[in-house]
Structure 1
C-alpha cells in the first residue's frame, strides 16, 4: 500500500546502508559500552546484590535503558509508518492537529499510527526483559535461581521504557519531520515525492535541514538520552 502513497517505496521495503546505520549505531554503541564497563550481561543491577559500586551499577542500567529506548524508538517509528497507512482517516499534522495531510507526510500522525508506535516500542522492551540473561530463562526449571527475583522487576522497567521510547520517540520523530524536514507532494502522480520536482509542491516542513535518515538519528539519540536520564527515578520506583 505504501508504494501507492509514497515515491521510492518498493515491495519488500529494502533499507540502504545509511538507514541501517541510523537505526542501529547508537543502540549498538550503548550495548557494547555497557558490556565493557559492567563486564557481564544480566538483569538490572541497581538494588541487587552485586560487586559493582552503586555508581557503576546505575551507569550500567542507564546504558541498558538507553539502548532499549533507542531500539524501541526505531520499532515504534517503523510500525507507525507501516501500519499507520491502514488508518481509515487522514493523518493530522502534529504541530497543527486541525490540519489534515496526505498519508506519508512527514509529521502526520493518526490514532492507528500512534497505537502502532506504542505497541512496537512496548514489544521491544518486553522482549528484552524476557530474553536477556536473567530474564525468562531464570524462571524455567533449568534457570539459575539467583536471578529469579529480578525477573519481574526487569520486565516492568524495560517494558515501561520500551513503551515510552516507542510512543515518545515516534512523536519526536514526527515533530522533527514537520519542522526541519521538507515534504513534497507530486500533483501528477498523486503521491508524496522524495524531493522537489517540476510537478511537486512543498506541503510540510518549516526548514529543509535534515534528511529522513538524520531525523531518525536525532530522534533515536534523544530517546536514548532521555531514557538514561530517567533511569534513576524509574529504578527507585520499582526497587
Structure 2
C-alpha cells in the first residue's frame, strides 16, 4: 500500500512540476520513480526533505527568470531539470534511503542531510547568486569572472547557499519531531545543514573552476558548459570529459554528505 500511495503522491508532484515546466518529461519520470522509493522505503524525514529541496529550487528557478534566461544558455543544465539532473541531485539520497530501510542507522540520515543540504545550497547559490550586481570571482584565484562562469562565487551566492543549507537542517529537525524520533537540538541540526551545505557548494565551485569540462564560444568569447552556443559549435578548453555538470553535482554531494557525518560525530550526535 505504501508503494501505491507513494507512486500516486510522486506522480502528482512530478506531474505539476512538468506542467509548470520545472521538469522535462524524462525528469518527471525519474522524479516519479525516485519519489515513490523515498516515500515507500523511507518516511516523512526522507520524502519531506526531498520535497523541500525540489519545491524551493523550482520556485527560485522561476524568480526573475527573464533576467537569468541569457545566462542559462551557457549552462549545461537549465532551470527545467531532466532525468540526469534529477538523479544527480537525488540519486545518492535514494540509495541512502534504501540502505536505511535494509539496515537502519543514524549515519545514513546525517549523510542524507549533508547531500540534500549540498544540492539545495548549490541551487540557491546559482539561482540567487546570478542576480548579484557585482561580478563573481574565481574561487581559486579571486579573479573577476563573467556572470554564469563555472567556479565563480559571490557574496550573495554564498549567503544564499548558507541559508539553503541551514533550511534543510531546520526541516530535518522538524520532520524528525513529526516522526516522533528522539532528536538533538534545533541548533545542532541547523549547523549540520549549514556547514555541510557550504562544504558541498564550495566543492562544486572548486570542481567547476578546475576539473569540470568547459568550452569556448568564439562568437561571444564566453567560457560555457555546452557544445553549442550562439548557434555555433564550441571548442573544449579545459577539464575532464567525464566531469560534466552532473558529475560535479554528484562529487560535491558526496563531500557534503561526508562533512555532515564528520560534524555529527564531533557533536556526539
Greater C-alpha radius of gyration: 1
How far 1:185 sits from its partner (Å)?
A: 4.5
- How far 1:208 moved relative to its partner? 4.6
Question: Aligned partners of 2:75, 2:263: CA distance in 1, in Å?
Answer: 37
Q: Which runs of 5+ in 1 are unaligned?
A: 39-59, 139-143
Structure 2 matches for 1:27-42, cutoff 5 A?
27-38=93-104
- Residue 210 of structure 1: SS of its match in structure 2? coil
Question: CA offset at residue 225 of structure 1?
Answer: 2.3
Larger RCO (alpha carbons 8 Å, 6+ apart) = 1
Taking a change above 3 Å as real, the CA distance of residues 117 and 173 of structure 1, as seen in their structure-2 partners, is same
CA distance in 1, matches of 2:164, 2:84: 22
Counterpart of 2:247? Answer: 214
How many pairs were matched up?
199
Alignment of 1:1-239 (within 5 A): 1-7=67-73, 13-38=79-104, 60-97=105-142, 99-132=143-176, 135=177, 137=178, 150-151=182-183, 153-189=184-220, 193-196=224-227, 200=234, 205=238, 207-235=240-268
Q: Distance in 1 between matches of 2:242 and 2:122?
A: 20
Name the structure where helix makes up a greater proportion of residues.
2
TM-score of the pair, normalised by structure 1? 0.73
Q: Which runs of 4+ in 1 moved over 6 A?
A: none
CA contact (8 A) 2:149 2:224 kept: no
Name the CA distance, whole Å, in 2 between partners of 1:127 and 1:74: 15
CA contact (8 A) 2:114 2:260 kept: yes
Partner Cα distance (2:223, 2:69) in 1 = 10
CA contact (8 A) 1:184 1:200 kept: yes
**C-alpha separation in 2, matches of 1:187 and 1:107:** 20
> How far does residue 193 in structure 1 lie from its aligned partner after superposition?
3.3
